[in-house]
Amino acid sequence: MNSTKVTTHDTGDNAWMMTSAALVLLMTPALAFFYGGLVDRKNILNQLFLSFICMGIVFVQWVLFGFSFAFGPELKFGIESWKWFALRFGEGDNAIYSPTYPLLTFAMYQATFAIITPALISGAIVGRMKLIPYMLFIFIWSTVCYDPMAHWVWSSKGWLKHLGTLDFAGGTVVHVLSGVSGLVAAIILGKRSDYDPRSTAAHNLPFTILGTGLLWIGWSGFNGGSANSADGIAALALVNTNAAAAAGLVTWVVIDAIRGHVSISGACVGPIVGLVAVTPACGFIQTGWALFFGVTATCIIYSLLLLKHYMRFDDTLDVAVVHGGGGILGAFMTGLFSQQKVNPAAAFDGAFYGRPIQLWYQIVGILIAIVFAVVCTAGILYPLDWIIGIRLAKEDELEGLDLTAHGECWEVAASRAVGDLVKQILDEQGVNKGQLEDNGSFELHYTPSDANRKSFTVPVTTRPTTIECESDDRHWK
């Protein structure tokens, strides 16, 4: 039998926070699609899995002790308490974190941040890390790196919070931490065996476009929910979020157009840069500055990505530049443009509004996040490497993790263009449906314009056509 319990919770705030939690949770599978479309076909299933598994590992950790470590009551000397182990506080609210809705809702909302942060790191280590060490890394990193940083920045007793470092929705806690950790992991693992900094292995840009759109939508909860209530600050964060994303998209497309062509993959990166940059500031700045954040961060990140071709580390999907660099830029600019009158309860005036010390507080937060991420990531990966090994064998890398780690393969239907071409050829040759039952085959021959390159022939059967990835080869069935 259901019972009705009288509470003083604001149902509007609770509904908004639960909706925001669902939106942010959506961002992890969206990230999987975003990353998955940018990797080689031989690693797509693995790349999807690296994000997906975080929804299991990190949420279990968060329920057991992660939330208690990040937000629970402290013991002496700032040591995190186990008092909220397994979320044992029930359905009550909390005067500090959730004054108008259940603390369980707040715990769920924060869990979605904890889930996506390590998932971001996976984009830096594509195709060369063993699966079991990766999963162990995610669990340990969430415990010793993410939880303490979230505590320092967002907890009521966090020392960076009391210092004055502003981070509305995760510029340092999520993006700087994951970006720097991704860079360190990429350096420790080394380059892929088939690494080529001037080539792209993107095999499914529609996946990437889909992932970008879902990330953009989910970011409304990521930033809007960080207001912690359904009020004007949530509306401000929501508008600033979309303004920065739109500015980032337009800026990237304009730069691409000036340089001669508009890249689809680049157009997907533009709004992500804007979103990352505005995240620490979206509840502290006026909307005009959100547009400035998107334009400025995109111009800088675009330039850094051009320079990345000359660097020696293999950050496969540019996690360090986009998330680490974008988070650093956003946190720094927060110290310039934040205004207390925009958010009297939580903001401080930045350097451009008469309080230059705020810029120093932001720099301290950035430096702490960078150093802490480096120490934690190296401190986890080196022992794992010594104990069980973290790097794949060269032959497994070349074959791809879909087969070597999962024993499965990515298949897609052949394009309609090829199907139409086959049908046209059959019609011109007078081949009817009955004649196709012999399962014969014919060939498509490609001759490159460059005489130094080899031509090739693709056999095509008369059966329904698919493309199958087998080992490192692509062939028609």
Would you give the distance in Å from CA 313 to the centre of its chain? 20
Res 95 pLDDT > 80? yes
Quote the pLDDT of residue 288.
96
Quote the pLDDT of residue 431.
63
Res 477 pLDDT > 50? no
> How confident is residue 420, by pLDDT bands cut at 50, 70 and 90?
low
For the stretch 182-201, pLDDT in tens is 999 999 999 888 776 666 56
Question: d(Cα 454, Cα 330) in Å, to the nearest integer?
Answer: 48
For the stretch 297-338, pLDDT in tens is 999 999 999 887 777 678 889 999 999 999 999 999 999 999
The pair of structure tokens assigned to 358 is: 């705020």
Quote the pLDDT of residue 473.
39
Q: What is the DSSP string of 16-81?
A: HHHHHHHHHHHHHHHHHHHHHTTS-GGGHHHHHHHHHTHHHHHHHHIIIIIHHHHHSPB-GGGPBP
- Comparing 365-374, 377-386, 448-457, the range with the smallest average pLDDT is 448-457
Instruction: Decide: residue 322, CB within 10 A, 0-12 exposed, 13-18 middle, 19+ buried.
Output: buried
Res 1 pLDDT > 70? no
Quote the pLDDT of residue 453.
67
Q: What is the mean pLDDT of residues 373-399?
A: 95
Quote the pLDDT of residue 446.
61
Quote the pLDDT of residue 419.
60
Q: What is the mean pLDDT of residues 33-53?
A: 93
Question: d(Cα 37, Cα 361) in Å, to the nearest integer?
Answer: 38
Question: d(Cα 264, Cα 12) in Å, to the nearest integer?
Answer: 39
For the stretch 135-151, pLDDT in tens is 999 999 999 999 999 99
Quote the pLDDT of residue 200.
57
For the stretch 203-248, pLDDT in tens is 789 999 999 999 999 999 999 999 999 999 999 999 999 999 999 9
Q: How long a stretch of residues is the chain?
A: 477
Res 16 pLDDT > 70? yes
Contacts of 460 (CB under 8 A, 6+ apart): 418, 422, 441, 442, 443, 444, 476
For the stretch 257-288, pLDDT in tens is 999 999 999 999 999 999 999 999 999 999 99
Find where tokens 């959730």 sit. Answer: 98
> How confident is residue 457, by pLDDT bands cut at 50, 70 and 90?
low
For the stretch 400-418, pLDDT in tens is 898 888 988 775 444 455 5
The pair of structure tokens assigned to 444 is: 């498509």
Find where tokens 């007078």 sit. Answer: 430
- Cβ atoms 274, 244 nearer than 8 A: yes
Res 79 pLDDT > 80? no
Please state, rounded to an integer, the average pLDDT across all residues of the chain.
86
Q: What is the DSSP string of 111-176?
A: HHHHHHHHHHHGGGSTTTB-HHHHHHHHHHHIIIIIHHHHHHHHSTT-HHHHHT---SSSIIIIII
Q: What is the mean pLDDT of residues 343-351?
A: 92
For the stretch 104-133, pLDDT in tens is 999 999 999 999 999 999 999 989 999 999
Contacts of 299 (CB under 8 A, 6+ apart): 251, 255
For residue 111, report the phi and psi dihedrals to the nearest 5 degrees.
Answer: -60, -35
For residue 307, report the phi and psi dihedrals to the nearest 5 degrees.
Answer: -75, -25
3-state SS, residue 457: strand
- Cβ atoms 222, 281 nearer than 8 A: no
What domains does the chain contain, in order, with CATH numbers? Answer: 13-402 (1.10.3430.10), 411-476 (no CATH)
Instruction: Quote the DSSP letter at residue 464.
Output: P
Instruction: Decide: residue 439, CB within 10 A, 0-12 exposed, 13-18 middle, 19+ buried.
Output: exposed
Quote the pLDDT of residue 472.
39
Q: What is the mean pLDDT of residues 383-394?
A: 95
For the chain, give the percent of residues with pLDDT over 90.
Answer: 68
Beta bridge partners of 473: 470
Among 321, 256, 265, 251, which residue's Cα sits nearest to residue 293? 251
> How confident is residue 61, by pLDDT bands cut at 50, 70 and 90?
very high
Buried b (16+ CB within 10 A) or exposed e, 55-69: bebbbebbbebbbbb
> How confident is residue 18, by pLDDT bands cut at 50, 70 and 90?
very high
Using CA atoms, how far residue 8 sits from 63, 89, 94, in Å, is: 25, 17, 12
Contacts of 72 (CB under 8 A, 6+ apart): 80, 81, 82, 83, 84
In one letter, which amino acid is 323? H
Using CA atoms, how far residue 52 sits from 57, 58, 194, 411, 418, in Å, is: 9, 10, 25, 19, 33
Find where tokens 């999807």 sit. Answer: 48
Res 54 pLDDT > 90? yes
